[in-house]
Amino acid sequence: MSGYVEARYDAEQGRVIYEPVSIEPRVLVPKVIRNDNSTDNGKK
C-alpha cells in the first residue's frame, strides 16, 4: 500500500483518526544480475 496518511481507531475519542504516515518510504534499489555462467554447468 502507498499513500501519505494512515487511519486508526481511537477508542477514547470513539472515532477514526487520520494521521501522516509514521514509517519511512522505502527506496527500491534495482538488483544487479551478473552473467557468471554458473547455470551452464559446463555444458555447451
> Is residue 38 in some structural domain?
no
pLDDT of residue 41: 58
Question: Mind spelling out the 3-state secondary structure of 1-44?
Answer: CCCCEEEEEECCCCEEEEEECCCCCCCCCCCCCCCCCCCCCCCC
7 within domain boundaries: yes
Q: Tell whether 37 is covered by a domain.
A: no
Q: List the domain range (segments joined by +) for residue 19.
A: 1-27
State the Rg of the chain over Cα: 23
pLDDT of residue 37: 65
The pLDDT value given to residue 33: 81
> Looking at the domain assignment, is residue 40 inside a domain?
no
pLDDT digits (tens, 9 = 90+) for 4-39: 888 999 999 999 999 998 777 678 888 888 877 666
